[in-house]
Amino acid sequence: MPGDTQESHALAEGIARTSYGKLLAILSVRLRDVSAAEEALSAAFEQALKSWPGNGIPGNPEGWLVQVARNRGVDRLRRQTVRDRIEPALALLAEEAAETNPDELFTDDRLKLLFVCAHPAIDPAMHTPLMLQSVLGLDAARIGSAFLVSPSAMGQRLVRAKTKIRQAGISFEIPEREHLNERVEAVLAAIYAAYGTGWDGDHGADTGTAGLADEALFLGDLLCSLLPSAPEALGLMALMLYTTSRRDARRSTQGAYIPLDRQDTGRWNRSMISRAERLLIEAAAFDKPERYQLEAAIQSAHVKGRLAGRPNWPAIEMLYARLLELAPSLGAFVSHASALAQMGRHEDALARLEAVAGEAGTYQPYWAVRAYCLRQAGRNAEAGKAYDMAIGLSEDASVKAFLGGEKASLGHAG
């Protein structure tokens, strides 16, 4: 039965929105060329818009798109006279003959592509952006904004990186053990960046990244099953699960942000939490605590403290101190200072903050923690200024109001 035009267009649009990344990954691995895969895929979409309204929507539209794009890619490779094009073309034809359903391959393909993107021949700064585009289908504008680069500059860098993949003849296989570890780190960083981007988009209006956090969880899961003896892969998965378990509890029905210590723990996803706990224990057996395991352990301590009704600040403080040795960041410095302040060690906390004062700029948590510490230290005039900065840097009216109340009570204290 021929489908109507509107229905065909809606379906093609839906697939482009939800599955572009995975289709591109399948094709990139088949064609061994990300740029060629992009061209072939857009040609396939174009053909779908022409063909589906008249001929009807195929039973497996995604499979249809992959098939058409692959044929396009093969045609293009056949026309190439350069010697290095012949080999992939032959491999592709052999594969095509042997293969049945393209869908069966795609989980593996996305992982292969992740490792291709993390190849040492590619500029390390481009590993994550490249993965976000070729594996998850994010556009250059969105990636640019996540990396604070203009869309056109990001677009150019992505093109260069893809050319590099082709020219350097990078193998589209999951690397052997000895090369695996050096690339796992970049793969983990990309998955976490995707997760963070999806998380930010969660409460923003129309950022086009809804579902990205779920994609990251999916990839993290795959990575864990591929690399069950990589403790950091398990650590990252645990970290993402802890954060996701609180997804429903962190916003009120009116959409206001609810901090962890005031969340309704009944709305936490307990099965995610227990899975995260199990992963963290599995990871700990390797006795190689690194960044993601430490961050997950901090989450675990917060969750347990909250459930026990008594926060375990000494444990959290120790984990942050260790995290800072391995992966110093402004956020970790401020969190460490916050844990110290909660333990009553305000002078230590202020010294911690002093160390990053130069780069704190407009980072709101820095000013909020600084205000709290100065207040505890009895330095009210300075605390007032820090409160102003923290209030002025907040977007949320309820956060502004809370900090405003804290500042107002300074006057009465001294």
Positions touching another protein (CB under 8 A) are 145, 148, 361-362, 385, 387-397, 400-401, 403-404, 407-408
Count of CB atoms situated within 10 Å of the CB of 53: 17
Contact at 8 Å (CB) between 156 and 171?
no
φ and ψ at 157, to 5 degrees?
-65, -35
Nearer to another protein, 67 or 145 (CB): 145
Secondary structure (3-state) at 407: helix
Nearer to another protein, 319 or 389 (CB): 389
CA proximity to 110, closest of 220, 229, 235, 240: 220
| Nearest to another protein of 189, 390 (CB atom) | 390
Smallest distance from the beta carbon of 388 to another protein, in angstroms? 4
**Nearest distance from C-beta of residue 215 to another protein, angstroms:** 24
In sequence order, what are the residues at sequence separation of 6 or more whose Cβ sits closer than 8 angstroms to the Cβ of residue 306?
260, 261, 263, 265
Residue 400: alpha-carbon gap to chain centroid = 29
**Least Å distance between CB 200 and another protein?**
13
**Distance of closest approach, residue 193 Cβ to another protein, in angstroms:** 17
Report the nearest approach of another protein to the CB of residue 405 (Å).
Answer: 9
Q: Could you tell me if 151 and 196 are in contact, meaning their C-beta atoms sit under 8 angstroms apart?
A: no
Nearest to 37 by CA among 94, 84, 88, 86: 88
CB of 392 to another protein, least distance (A): 2
- Please count the CA atoms within 13 angstroms of the CA of 343 that sit on its side-chain side: 18
Q: Quickly tell me which residue has 């200024």 as its tokens.
A: 385
Q: What's the chain's length in residues?
A: 414
Q: Which amino acid is at 352?
A: R
Of 331 and 344, the one with the shorter C-beta distance to another protein is: 331
Q: CB of 340: closest distance to another protein in angstroms?
A: 24
Closest to another protein by CB, 116 vs 391, is: 391
Closer residue to another protein (CB): 305 or 404: 404
Neighbours of 198 (CB within 10 A): 22
Of 147 and 286, CB closest to another protein: 147
- What is the closest distance, in whole angstroms, from the C-beta atom of residue 402 to another protein in the complex? 11
Cβ atoms within 10 Å, residue 173: 10
HSE, side-chain direction, 13 A CA sphere, residue 248: 9
> For residues 209 and 245, which CB has a smaller minimum distance to another protein in the complex?
209
Q: For another protein, give the closer residue by CB, 277 or 382.
A: 382
Placement of tokens 């909250």 in the chain: 306
Contact 45, 25 (CB under 8 A): no
Nearest to 191 by CA among 148, 152, 232: 232
- Cβ atoms of 340 and 354 within 8 Å: the answer is no
**Residue 216 beta carbon to another protein: minimum distance, rounded to whole angstroms:** 23
Distances (CA, A) of 196 to 4, 131, 147: 39, 14, 12
Q: Which is nearer to another protein, 72 or 157 (CB)?
A: 157
